[in-house]
Structure 1
Amino acid sequence: MDVSDKFENKLMDINQGSSSKNDIIKKFDDLADTFDEFSKGSGYTALKYCSTLLSKHIPDRKANILDFGCGTGLVGEQLYQLGFQNIDGFDCAPKCLQVAENKQIFKRLFCEFFSGQTLNLATDFYDGLICVGGFFPSGLKANCFREWIRIVKPGGYILNAMRRSFLETCLDFNDGKLEGEMKALESDGKWKLILTEEFEAGRKEWNMILFLHQIL
């Protein structure tokens, strides 16, 4: 089994199974010590692709960026390499956040399990928010969108990327449910869709779709 296959097995272990809070946190924390090694050796390109795209829309490298569902900080690493200086991370798994903290690239790290609540984060603070891979069957749901909109300032950007297949197979997302929630918020004047794009991320199972919105 090559590195790509091993990484896919780790991802699928997260993507499937129990949706209980404690089980999800344990799954992520059990991977904390090895996740970076497998990710970087697997050929998975979504992290770099999404970070680069966001950087093209936010030229100010002193902008405040939140990596939502940051895990061990792999997206943060990409943003840091692109020159961003003020990166925060948010995740539910304390062991993953310890790995992220050791990289010394984050200004602040927040550990909390998100289930739709109002977070202890300032309104209109961030210039950009990025979430890569946070939407999966037992992961984030559309109830995060309003909270994301609250903490990102008008004119700021939100980039959300997920596996394309989950839009069809996940009961919370399929039949247009997830995109319908996005469009409803656009109709309410909360944000506007700048770009939606499908892209390959290293192997067929990793084909992704991203949504880039700007806050109004």
Structure 2
Amino acid sequence: MDTPDAWEKRLVQICQGSTKEDEKQETFDDVADTLDQAAKESGYTAPQYCSTLLSRYIPDRKANILDFGCGTGLAGEQLHQLGYQHIDGLDCAPKCLQVAENKQIYRRLFCDFFSGQTLNLETDFYDGLICIGGFYPLGLKANCFSEWIRTVQPGGYILNVFRNSYLDTCADYNDGKLEGEMKALESDGKWKLISTEKFEAGRKEWNMILFIHQIL
């Protein structure tokens, strides 16, 4: 069983690892069986915090929710406990998705490695999208925003949370690049920023930043 410190080291390895699709999938699958317990023992609270917050913006428990980068289903579990009945998940790692499927909380699960393509997801279908930890070095880039906007219907909400430090340390995000892409889409009338929040997700080094957008 991975200790919280060992889990942290594995996450660092993921962030510093390969950009190749198959190698990244393999790295995530290597931690699939221990991820949930390690997250619990480390006191990782981002899934609970963000799921509860989403429930304030989308109170309808029959709403269609997409858990983007769902991994083993940590956020999906929280949404399910809050009473959401129609949760879909998307992730690049097959073994992580198998763990998520075994929880029997998702309506549908999609295995896809996002690199800017149009996904096999319905347009204007989801009432909300949640992405926890999808942005990290070698992780998602701003090109996912347009696809998120396509799949979430007007009036719907997108909650995107990741480590605040990555806005400074990640070359794809720093110097205002990531937030600049968000603002450009707002200027284009695609979405509007509702709120930006910072919170600590269980450990001091896990200071998170959360962006909440509404689709226009």
State the TM-score bracket (shorter-chain normalisation): over 0.9
For 1:90, the equivalent position in structure 2 comes to 90
Q: d(CA) in 1 for partners of 2:206 and 2:19? A: 21
Q: Deviation at 1:146? A: 0.2
For 1:19, the equivalent position in structure 2 comes to 19
Q: d(CA) in 1 for partners of 2:67 and 2:190? A: 20
For 1:45, the equivalent position in structure 2 comes to 45
Q: d(CA) in 2 for partners of 1:202 and 1:40? A: 10
1:23-58, Cα deviation, whole Å (9 max, x unpaired): 111110111111111111111111111111111100
For 1:205, the equivalent position in structure 2 comes to 205
SS in 1 for 2:14: helix
Q: Deviation at 1:63? A: 0.2
* Structure 1 position 193 matched with structure 2 position 196: no
SS in 2 for 1:79: helix
SS in 1 for 2:6: helix
For 2:148, the equivalent position in structure 1 comes to 148
1:85-118, Cα deviation, whole Å (9 max, x unpaired): 1000000000100000000000000001000000
For 1:36, the equivalent position in structure 2 comes to 36
For 1:122, the equivalent position in structure 2 comes to 122
Q: d(CA) in 2 for partners of 1:76 and 1:12? A: 24
Q: d(CA) in 2 for partners of 1:171 and 1:14? A: 16
SS in 2 for 1:120: coil
SS in 1 for 2:205: helix
SS in 2 for 1:174: coil
Unaligned runs of 5+ in 2: none
Q: d(CA) in 2 for partners of 1:51 and 1:9? A: 26
AA of the residue aligned to 1:178: L
Q: d(CA) in 1 for partners of 2:3 and 2:196? A: 30
SS in 1 for 2:129: strand
TM-score by length of 2: 0.97
AA of the residue aligned to 2:68: F
AA of the residue aligned to 1:132: I
Identity %: 75
Q: CA RMSD in A?
A: 1.0
Size of the aligned set, in residue pairs, is 215
For 1:100, the equivalent position in structure 2 comes to 100
Q: d(CA) in 2 for partners of 1:130 and 1:34? A: 23
SS in 2 for 1:189: coil
For 1:9, the equivalent position in structure 2 comes to 9
For 2:80, the equivalent position in structure 1 comes to 80
Q: d(CA) in 2 for partners of 1:77 and 1:13? A: 26
For 2:135, the equivalent position in structure 1 comes to 135
For 2:71, the equivalent position in structure 1 comes to 71
Taking the TM superposition and a 5 Å limit, the aligned residue runs for 1:151-166 are 151-166=151-166
Unaligned runs of 5+ in 1: none
Displaced runs of 4 or more, over 2 A: none
AA of the residue aligned to 1:16: Q
Q: Deviation at 1:13? A: 1.9
Q: d(CA) in 2 for partners of 1:44 and 1:59? A: 24
For 2:175, the equivalent position in structure 1 comes to 175
Q: Deviation at 1:15? A: 1.6
